[in-house]
Each structure stands twice: as C-alpha cells, then as structure tokens.
Structure 1
Amino acid sequence: MSGALLGAAAEPAFARHETFHLRFGWLRKGFTAALADPEAFSKPNATVDLGVGKNMVNAIRYWCQAYKILETTPNEKRPRTPHLTPSVFGRQLLGEDGWDPWLEDPASLWLLHWKLLGPTCMAPVWWTAFNLFAHEQFEEYQLTDHVVELTAAAGWKSVMESSVKKDVDCLLRTFGVRRTGRQSMDDILDCPTRQLGLISPAAGEARSWRFVTGPKPSLPAAIVAYACLDFLTAVGTKERTISVARLAGDPGAPGRAFRLTESNLYDVLIEAVKSVPQMRVAEPAGLRQLIVDGDVESLRDQIINNYYRASQEQAV
C-alpha cells in the first residue's frame, strides 16, 4: 500500500541535486535565467551565464523544477532538449510583480516546502520522510532502508541504495547541521529551509535525527489554510468537507508536511477562518471538520493572494 502511495505521488528521481542542497538565491537565479532564455540551462556557456560550476548548474535546475518554479515545455527545434520555462506558480511567486520576488517573507519558504512535496513530487525521499516514515526520532540508515524498501514496493527499477543515501544526506542538510562528527563545507553552508525547524539533530549518535512536531511560530495560518484547500483539491473529491484528522494525518496532507498534530492544525484553522468567511470549522458529534462554502480552488487562490497583498501593504 505504501509503495503504491509513493508511486502515485512522486517520480523516481534520485540524487539529481549533485549532492548540493538548496542555497540562498538559487531559485531566484534559476527563475531569472529561464525567464530570459528557455535554453539557459542547456547552453554550452550555462556555467558562465549562471556564474557557477557545471554540477551546480544541474543542481539549480533540479531544485527549480522540484520546487515547481520551472517546468519543461516542448522545444520544436530540438525535441530531445525541452525548454525550461517559469511555471505559473514561479511567475506568481518570483515574477517582477510577484508575491515575494526575493523570498523575504518566511511564509514563502513554507509555501515552497508545500510545493516541493506536492504532486508530482521530484524528491521521493523527501515525500517518504514526511508522509510514510513512522519514526519521530531516527538514524540515517533507518530512513535509507525504508526508502529502498518502498521504491521496490512501488515497482521502481534499478534504484541504487547509494543514490538514496545521497538524498537522505541532502535532505538532512536541507533542514539541519550535524552537531558532532566531521562536517563538510556543504554541511556548514546555510540553507534557507533550515529556518523552518522541521528536522533537528537528536541527542546521541552523530547521525541521529528527530522530526520537530508541534506549533510552528513562523507558519502563517493563511499558508496552512491554502495547503488544506490545495490538498482537498488534489484528493479529487468534490466534497467541500474534510475531517481535520485527515488533514493532519493522511499521506500528502498539510499536517504531515508541516509536522502539525491534529490539535495543532485545529488551532491554526480556528485562527484562519476568522478572516475567511467562506470557511468554517465545525465539530459535529465530536468530529472536527473543515467546511468550505463555495468553490474550493477559487477560495484557495483567493486566500494566498490576499495573504501576500496584505503582507506587501504592511511592508510599504
């Protein structure tokens, strides 16, 4: 069952980051380059234009696609080399008049994290860790072994354990820094998503980690509400009601992505509905539910637009 869930949610993409975790400025750099030239990443002088080495060019390309900032589009002149162009989401977030072109609002990192895990996920190790891995505290090898098992269950062929190990290492460097043991320059260099506080080193061995489950002070209620409606849209149901338990615990749900318990999520939704009259939280017969009045997709888009509009007005 878990293998089928992984196969439906993600594609078998491993170690495409060339061992480089996301760096500050990379998403903006990749977006700007692709906006100016859809062949920016495939040109012979890509390293010169982007100002980084060949492996980093590949890493920037990968992260921009994984975070849904860029997408492939047909190249009529060279069909085997698709163009790489800004996605609708990429333009909305990083465009000249976008929500947050320089990623100055911490909410944008939470939004990007949600997009990274969204369908179709190009980071299956990330998706597995947040959605199909039961351990709150774990050793690196446990996550590696679990992913390897699930890739086989998903029917993915020729997934090398060494590639999974690289992804597990990159995942953990994305969110934290080992407290003990020998550290490489990549371990030390900061990563914007470390601000999210989702995974941290655990007491004990150098390769022991824990998920940080509980309230997230930097996570706006509007981003959670957006993610809940996005999830409700993605599950393919026409229902406008969903239990908070599902929003907290289903694979692919906001509670999993943001490491929120059902109680945490309920509290955030109570705050969110105060400014969204088309949404309400009810508790019939003790079952907590999120109820949407109107079109779910339209309300989802309205919530995110209203959040960034208000954020920009406050910044002026």
Structure 2
Amino acid sequence: MSGALLGAAAEPAFARHETFHLRFGWLRKGFTAALSDPEAFSRPNATVELGVGKNMVNAIRYWCQAYKILETTPNEERPRMPHLTPSAFGRQLLDEDGWDPWLEDPASLWLLHWKLLGPKCMAPVWWTAFNLFVPEQFEEYQLTDLVVELTAAAGWKSVMESSVKKDVDCLLRTFGVRRTGRQTMDDLLDCPTRQLGLIAPAAGEARSWRFVTGPKPSLPSAIVAYACLDFMAGVGGKERTISVARLAGDPGAPGRAFRLTESNLYDILIEAAKSVPQMRVAEPAGLRQFIVNGDVEALRDQIINEYYRARQEQAA
C-alpha cells in the first residue's frame, strides 16, 4: 500500500541534485535564466551565464523543477530537448512584480516546501520522510532502508541504494547540520530551508535525527489554510468538508508536511477562519471538521493572493 502511495505521488528521481542542497539565490538565479532563455541550462556556456560549475548548473535546474518554479515545455525545433520555462507558480512568486521575488518572507519558504512535496513530487525521499516515515527520532539508515523497500514496492526499477543514501544525506543537510563529526564545506554553506526548523539533530549518535513536531513561529495561518484548501482540491473533488484529522495525518496532507498535530492544525485553522468568512471549523459530536462555503480552488487562490498583497502593503 505504501509503495503504491509513493508511486502515485512522486517520480523515481534520485540524486539529481549532484549532492548539492538548495542554496540562497539558486531559485531566483534559475528562474531568471529560464525566463530570458528556455535553453539556458542546456547551452555550452551555461556555467558562465549562471556563474557556477557544471554540477551546480544541474543542481539549480533540479531544484527549480522540484520546487515547481520551472517546468518543461515542448521544443518544436528539437523535440528531444524540451525547453525549461517558468511555471505559472514560478511567475506568481518570483516575477519582478510577483509575490516575493527575492524570497524575503519566511512564508515563501513554507509555501515552497509545500510545493516541493506536492504532485508530482520530484523528491521521493523527501515525500517518504514526511508522509510515510513513522519514527519521530531516527537514524539515517532507517530512512534509507524504508525508501529502498518502498521503491521496490512501487515497481521502480534500478534504484540504487547509493543514490538513496545521497538523497537522505541531502535531505538532512537541507534542514540541519550534524552536531558532531567532520563537516564538509557544503555543510557549512547555509540553506534557506534550515530556518523552517522541521528536522534537527537528536541526542545520541552523530547520525541521529528527530522531526520537530508542533507550532512553527514563522508559519503563517494563511499558508496553512492555503495548503489545506490545496489538499482538499486535490483529493476531495467537489467536497467542501474534510476532517481535521485527515488534514493532519493523511499522506500528502499539510499536517504531515509542516509537522503539525491535529490540535495544532485545529487551532491554526480557527485563527485563519477569523479573517475568511467562507471557511470555518466545527466540532460536531467531537469530530473536528474544516468546512468551506464556496469554490475550494477559488478560495485557495484568494487566500494566497490576499496574504501577499497585505505583506506588500505593509512593506510599502
């Protein structure tokens, strides 16, 4: 069952980051390059134009696609080499007049994290860690073993354990730095998503880690509400009511992505609903429910647009 869930939610993409975790400025750099030239990443002078080495060019391309900033589009002249162009989401976020062109608002990192895990996810180790991995505290090998097991169950062929290990290592460096042991230069270079505080070193062995479950100070209620509506739109069809338990615990749900308990999520949605009359939280017979009055997708888009509009007005 878990293998089928992984196969439906993610692509068999492993170690495409060339061992480089996401770095500050990379998404903006990749977006700008693709905006001006849909073949920017495949040209011989890509290293010069992007100002990085060949492997980093590949890493920037991967992260931009994984975070849904860029997408492939048909290349009529060379069908075997599709263009890489900004997605609608990428333009909304990073255009000069977009929501947050320089990713200055921590909320944008939470939004990107949600997009990374969304379908089709190009980071199956990330998707597995947040949606199918049970332990709150774990050793690196445990996550590696589970991913290897699930890739086989999903019917993915030729997935090498060494590639999975690279992804597990990159995942952990994306969110934290090891407490002890020798650190590489790549460990010391900061990653923007570390400030999300989702995974941290655990007491004990150097390769022990823990998920940080509970309220997140930098996570706005509007982003959580957006993610809940996005999840509803993806799994609920035309349904306008969903249990908070599902939003907290289902694979692919916001509670999993943001490491929030059902109670955390319930409190956040109550707060979000205060400024959005089209949604409310109820508790009939002890069952916590999230209820939407109106079109779920339209409300989702309204909430995210209003959040960034308000932020821009505050900054003006």
TM-score by length of 2: 1.00
Match in the other structure for 1:260: 260
* TM-superposition CA deviations, 1:44-68 (whole Å, max 9, x none): 1000000000000000000000000
Structure 1 Cα separation of the partners of residues 312 and 238 of structure 2? 33
Pairs within 5 Å for 1:148-159: 148-159=148-159
Structure 1 Cα separation of the partners of residues 236 and 89 of structure 2? 20
* TM-superposition CA deviations, 1:79-116 (whole Å, max 9, x none): 11000000000000000110000000000000000000
* TM-superposition CA deviations, 1:98-135 (whole Å, max 9, x none): 00000000000000000000000000000000000001
Structure 2 Cα separation of the partners of residues 186 and 79 of structure 1? 36
> Alignment partner of 1:84: what SS?
strand
Cα offset, 1:237, TM superposition = 2.3
Structure 1 Cα separation of the partners of residues 235 and 61 of structure 2? 28
Cα offset, 1:290, TM superposition = 0.3
Aligned positions, number: 316
Structure 2 Cα separation of the partners of residues 272 and 79 of structure 1? 46
* TM-superposition CA deviations, 1:214-247 (whole Å, max 9, x none): 0001000000000000000111421100000000
Structure 2 Cα separation of the partners of residues 116 and 255 of structure 1? 15
Structure 2 Cα separation of the partners of residues 148 and 186 of structure 1? 25
Aligned-pair Cα RMSD in Å: 0.4
Match in the other structure for 2:31: 31
Structure 2 Cα separation of the partners of residues 120 and 146 of structure 1? 20
> Alignment partner of 1:275: what SS?
coil
* TM-superposition CA deviations, 1:123-168 (whole Å, max 9, x none): 0000000000001000000000000000001010000000000000
Match in the other structure for 2:179: 179
Pairs within 5 Å for 1:1-316: 1-316=1-316
Cα offset, 1:70, TM superposition = 0.1
TM-score by length of 1: 1.00
Structure 2 Cα separation of the partners of residues 104 and 198 of structure 1? 19
Structure 2, unaligned runs of 5 or more: none
Identity across the alignment (%): 91
* TM-superposition CA deviations, 1:236-261 (whole Å, max 9, x none): 42110000000000000000000000
Structure 1, unaligned runs of 5 or more: none
Structure 2 Cα separation of the partners of residues 238 and 244 of structure 1? 17
Structure 1 Cα separation of the partners of residues 52 and 187 of structure 2? 19
